[in-house]
Amino acid sequence: MAWTPVTAVFFIVMATLVAGMTGWEALSPCVPRRGLLPLVTTRGDRLFIGLLTTAFIQLAWLGLTNGSQWYALGIGVIVILAIGRFG
């Protein structure tokens, strides 16, 4: 794997999200709810699903296009926010 600035930013964002979610869960535990996803999820579940989806978007972008990875990172962040809010 080539360590490019985009790859570094991607892993930094993922680590920051996990650390932030850990602190948020410690301060105010969440209640499971049902959103657009067809299952009952907690904040941590939605974050995990969003991170997996973002990783697959990154891999698909890398394999299917010659475009800049910055676009895939932007799409991934939007997807994580959408799943976290509406999932």
Count of structural domains within the chain: 1
The whole-number pLDDT of residue 38 equals 84
Give a yes or no: residue 11 inside a domain.
yes
| Average pLDDT value over all residues in the chain | 86
Q: Is the pTM of this model over 0.85?
A: no
Positions of E strands within 1-87 = 33-34, 40-41
Give a yes or no: residue 31 inside a domain.
no
Give a yes or no: residue 16 inside a domain.
yes
* Predicted confidence (pLDDT) at residue 1 exceeds the cutoff of 70: no
* Predicted confidence (pLDDT) at residue 62 exceeds the cutoff of 70: yes
**By C-alpha distance, which of 15, 46, 44 is closest to 29?**
44
CA pair distance 78, 55, nearest whole angstrom = 13
Digit-coded pLDDT (tens) for 33-46: 888 878 888 888 88
Give a yes or no: residue 30 inside a domain.
no
Task: Supply the range of the domain harboring residue 16.
Answer: 5-25+38-86
